Amino acid sequence: MTDDFTDADAKAICAALGVDTKTITDTFGRTHVVIDEAGMRTLAAHSPNPARGQALVDQIVAAARGLNTPEENQ
């Protein structure tokens, strides 16, 4: 068994759970599969510990919002 988790693997799991994905390219030319907050919450709800999953999403969203200016967070 391999521990390589590819973008195709992530997209397949998301598709099976009805989570929309988007592929973006960063400023260095690398591609990334991204999901929005609703998608993260759906994945968390299907995790082995949904309450912990939702708490982690809360932390991620709070940290991401902290990267914006106060005006962008409103």
Low-confidence ranges of the chain (pLDDT < 70): 1-2, 68-74
Beta-carbon-side half-sphere exposure of residue 37 (alpha carbons within 13 Å): 10
- Look-up of token digits 């400023």: 27
How big is the CA angle at 2 (ends 46 and 47), to the nearest 5 degrees? 10
List the structure tokens of 28.
């260095």
pTM for this entry: 0.75
